[in-house]
DNA sequence: ATGAGGTGAGAAATCGTTTCCATAGAGTCA
DNA sequence: TGACTCTATGGAAACGATTTCTCACCTCAT
């Protein structure tokens, strides 16, 4: 693999000149430039990003980190696409890692990010007060928190109005006549779970429906827990007639559990999930969901990060996108 | 961010000694080691991977590249998890990119990989004779081809027995009485598409059923094309009574199209897809599929790559995993 | 007491860039 | 013509590690 030095030697100029040609910074006389470019062509030279990054402390490394809690969750996959498309358009590569909702794994990857000296990091923090992330941000690394909020006002954030989305969903269930509405809430410590739960509670309160703790369960955002918790709820002495499930995977789990009980959706139990699924239409029945603009979330986060790289002194930005209730057949 | 030099100065030793402590290579007297370690602790020192990579030409960079055609396809997401878990267990970070089935994008990312000097690259090649990938491999970069085969015998490959899977699926359709079986094939230029198609053809031939070209359509592996092609097939003068769909996303599209026509699965049209889906059970009806061991594929690929890093002179390995027909309700 | 041998640690080279500073040569102007 | 400014280019330092070479010092045997 040829290096700058090889090119310089072959073109009979100094490495400084070659570097100038590459970065077409300062002036290089057209003839010299032509020669150098020809030699680069001949040798198939390509600058070594590692060396470049080492030297260039202030500059763009054209690399950004994305740490996702679960790449198998279609919501995050869609966020990733949003990030990735913006990155690619700006010739950034994305270093994508999976934290598995595991703080230790996240810490490992944050270290990797720091050590790889990426330009910035985008992530849905695993907990609201995630000290590893806060520390990284304080050390000067640009960080954008997506989907979930961090307990800090100085960090760029892109989130969805979870309260509003949940409120509308439960409001809809009430409007079509449900009085006993169960909630399968998301993992604790997540701003999203809290906000969605609050939406559920206030939608009930708004029409003076009692909040029944026995109809509320807390899951871990995975498909399996959606199933077992739904079974628990259906086993209650007087089970709910409708279910609001705080995340997409758990909603699928809930649907499966209901099928196992040979119950009909929506006649026996109505169901609304949070987060759309590309295959929601093909489910039995097509699932009513609160759709988050996941792609937009990713796109906005990446753009926010790039903007911050351009101007590090910008005040922290906070973007809240609107979710949308998509009515299908499950309620 | 403290550097080796800072640690050395603070510990009153040379940078060489600090380096030796870090890599606990050669001998360092315990006392010195203790001092250095204490200082590293105090300063929160962490070696800079960029600098390390620059120098260390032969050594492990603990970074591997994964280029996926579509991260939103659950099959690839599962592969990614397999890769990622092995990587994490060996303290490797994964540089994950999305080629979007786009050769130009893939080429860009391959350049990034080379420039980032990753240890090796894992990818499902976008085409069978993918010159960019072959060139990279020839330049000495370890490459593992997953899921899809490359037109080369010198590249490590992990694939699934697509022929066998398709054969069994179509054989099953025949066994339950279908005679007019449609095929929605995958994108051309893919070894997987070719093998699955061959499985379809030979399963028909095995029982002397005619191969009807009008019942075969070629899609692009995306959900939308599954839908439109299914509609085309259903519009045929004498439409198929069963459909074998060569990929998971297209199968979902097919299911939706069938629903749009108010037809019943499996009574009006039976359906088998290739690739399982985490939510296949919740579909209407639960989808019969040929399940590929996606996680295993990723795991095996990562292990193969790590093994090659340990011993570059190993002959090329070729692993073919068995898929499994999972009978649900769609046929 | 002296030389051999072993061991721990420092000095310096190196990786491939960027960038600051120096300089040669050309051009400009009085 | 000499002083002065440009400007294109070269030289060399720096980035932060690894690694080779070298050396000082200690031990032990002769």
Task: Identify which of A156, A133, A159 has the alpha carbon closest to the alpha carbon of residue A148.
Answer: A159
The predicted structure's pLDDT at residue B57: 67
Q: Angle B103-115/B131-138 helices, nearest 10 degrees?
A: 20
How far is C-alpha A154 from the chain's CA centre?
19
B49 CB inside 7 Å of strand D: no
> pLDDT: is A54 or A248 the higher one?
A248
β-bridge mates for residue B186, sequence order: none
Percent of chain A with pLDDT over 70: 99
The predicted structure's pLDDT at residue A58: 57
Instruction: Give the residue on A whose Cα is nearest the Cα of B88.
Output: A105
CA–CA distances in Å: residue A237 to residues A140, A215, A227, B97, B167: 55, 11, 18, 50, 50
Give me A38's structure tokens: 């020809």
Are A84 and B97 an interchain contact pair (Cβ–Cβ within 8 Å)? yes
Low-confidence ranges of chain B (pLDDT < 70): 57-60
Instruction: Give the residue on B whose Cα is nearest the Cα of A80.
Output: B71
Beta strand residue intervals within A69-139, DSSP E:
93-98, 120-123
Q: Say how far apart CA A48 and CA A22 lie, in whole Å.
A: 12
User: Mean per-residue pLDDT for A55-69?
Assistant: 81
pLDDT in tens, A71-109: 999 999 999 999 999 999 988 888 888 899 999 999 988
Give the count of alpha carbons within 13 A of B216, CB side only: 16
Q: Say how far apart CA B287 and CA A70 lie, in whole Å.
A: 24
Are A72 and B94 an interchain contact pair (Cβ–Cβ within 8 Å)? no
Whether the CB of A131 is below 8 Å from some CB of chain B: the reply is: no
Are B284 and A283 an interchain contact pair (Cβ–Cβ within 8 Å)? yes
Residues in CB range of B262: below 8 A, 6 or more apart: none
Q: Best mutation site among A96, A249, A257, A289 for testing chain B: the one with the most B CBs within 10 Å?
A: A96
Residues in CB range of B206: below 8 A, 6 or more apart: B171
Angle made by CA atoms B91, B96, B102, in degrees to the nearest 5: 155
b/e B245-266 (16+ beta carbons within 10 angstroms → b): bbbbbbbbbbbbbbbeeeeebb
Provide the positions of strand C that have an atom within 7 A of a protein CB: 7-12, 14-20
Whether the CB of A53 is below 8 Å from some CB of chain B: the reply is: yes
The predicted structure's pLDDT at residue B29: 85
Give me A60's structure tokens: 């763009």
Judged by DSSP in three states, B155 sits in coil
A15 CB inside 7 Å of strand D: yes
| Burial class for A83, CB neighbours closer than 10 Å (0-12, 13-18, 19+) | buried
B312 CB inside 7 Å of strand D: no
Cβ-nearest to B97 among A1, A94, A252: A94
Instruction: Give the residue on B whose Cα is nearest the Cα of A112.
Output: B93
Judged by DSSP in three states, A126 sits in coil
The predicted structure's pLDDT at residue B183: 98
Whether the CB of A260 is below 8 Å from some CB of chain B: the reply is: no
The predicted structure's pLDDT at residue B311: 82
Pairing mode, strands B93-98 and A120-123: unpaired
Instruction: Give the residue on B whose Cα is nearest the Cα of A97.
Output: B94
A115 CB inside 7 Å of strand D: no
Are A116 and B1 an interchain contact pair (Cβ–Cβ within 8 Å)? no
Decide if A46 contacts A262 (C-beta within 8 A): no
Give the count of alpha carbons within 13 A of A65, CB side only: 30
pLDDT greater than 60 at residue A236: yes
Cβ-nearest to B50 among A88, A117, A278: A117
Are B71 and A77 an interchain contact pair (Cβ–Cβ within 8 Å)? yes
Q: Say how far apart CA B312 and CA B308 lie, in whole Å.
A: 5
Length of chain B: 331
The predicted structure's pLDDT at residue A147: 96
Q: Say how far apart CA B315 and CA B300 lie, in whole Å.
A: 16
A146-150, A198-202, B31-35, range with the lowest pLDDT: B31-35
Q: What Å value separates CA B30 and C1' D26?
A: 17
The predicted structure's pLDDT at residue B60: 66
Give the count of alpha carbons within 13 A of A98, CB side only: 23
Which chain A residues are closer than 8 Å to B71 by Cβ? Answer: 71, 77, 80-81, 84
Beta strand residue intervals within A44-130, DSSP E:
63-68, 93-98, 120-123
Provide the positions of strand D that have an atom within 7 A of a protein CB: 7-12, 14-20
| Burial class for A60, CB neighbours closer than 10 Å (0-12, 13-18, 19+) | middle
Pairing mode, strands B288-291 and B324-326: antiparallel
pLDDT greater than 90 at residue A117: no
Decide if B186 contacts B193 (C-beta within 8 A): yes
Decide if A149 contacts A128 (C-beta within 8 A): yes
Q: Say how far apart CA B301 and CA B319 lie, in whole Å.
A: 9
β-bridge mates for residue A69, sequence order: none
Length of chain A: 331
A54-63, A139-148, B150-159, B207-216, range with the lowest pLDDT: A54-63
Q: Is this structure's pTM higher than 0.85?
A: yes
Judged by DSSP in three states, B95 sits in strand
Q: Say how far apart CA B267 and CA B178 lie, in whole Å.
A: 11
Are A95 and B98 an interchain contact pair (Cβ–Cβ within 8 Å)? no
Q: Best mutation site among B47, B50, B51 for testing chain A: the one with the most A CBs within 10 Å?
A: B50
The predicted structure's pLDDT at residue A60: 67
Whether the CB of B277 is below 8 Å from some CB of chain A: the reply is: yes
Q: Say how far apart CA B273 and CA A181 lie, in whole Å.
A: 36
Q: Best mutation site among B64, B113, B261, B282 for testing chain A: the one with the most A CBs within 10 Å?
A: B282
- CB neighbourhood size of A308 (10 A): 19
Residues in CB range of A227: below 8 A, 6 or more apart: A253, A254, A256, A257
Cβ-nearest to A49 among B84, B116, B277: B116
Which chain B residues are closer than 8 Å to A249 by Cβ? Answer: 278
């Amino acid at each position: 693999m040829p290096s700058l030095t090889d090119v310089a030697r072959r073109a009979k100029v100094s490495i400084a000149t070659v570097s100038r040609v590459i970065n077409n910074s300062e002036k290089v006389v057209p003839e010299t430039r032509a020669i150098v470019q020809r030699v680069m062509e001949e040798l198939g030279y390509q600058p070594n990003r590692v060396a470049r990054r080492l030297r260039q402390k202030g500059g763009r490394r054209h690399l950004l980190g994305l740490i996702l809690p679960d790449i198998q969750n279609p919501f995050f996959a869609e966020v990733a696409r949003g990030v990735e498309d913006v990155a690619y358009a700006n010739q950034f590569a994305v270093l994508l890692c999976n934290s598995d909702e595991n703080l230790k794994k996240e810490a490992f990857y944050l270290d990797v990010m720091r050590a790889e000296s990426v330009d910035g990091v985008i992530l849905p923090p695993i907990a609201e007060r995630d000290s590893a992330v806060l520390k990284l941000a304080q050390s000067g690394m640009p960080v954008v928190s997506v989907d979930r909020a961090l307990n800090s006002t100085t960090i760029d954030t892109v989130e969805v109005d979870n309260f509003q989305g949940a409120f509308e969903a439960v409001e809809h269930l009430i409007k079509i006549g449900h009085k006993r509405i169960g909630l399968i809430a998301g993992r604790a410590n997540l701003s999203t779970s809290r906000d969605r739960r609050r939406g559920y509670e206030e939608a009930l309160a708004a029409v003076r429906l009692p909040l029944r703790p026995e109809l509320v369960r807390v899951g871990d955002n995975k498909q399996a827990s959606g199933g077992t918790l739904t079974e628990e709820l259906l086993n209650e002495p007087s089970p709910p007639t409708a279910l609001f499930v705080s995340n997409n995977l758990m909603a699928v789990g809930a649907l499966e559990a209901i099928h196992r009980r040979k119950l009909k959706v929506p006649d026996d139990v109505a169901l609304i999930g949070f987060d759309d699924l590309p295959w929601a239409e093909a489910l039995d029945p097509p699932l009513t969901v609160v759709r988050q603009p996941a792609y937009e979330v990713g796109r906005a986060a990446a753009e926010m990060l790039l903007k911050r790289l351009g101007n590090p002194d910008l005040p922290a930005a906070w973007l809240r996108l609107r979710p949308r209730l998509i009515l299908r057949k499950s309620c």
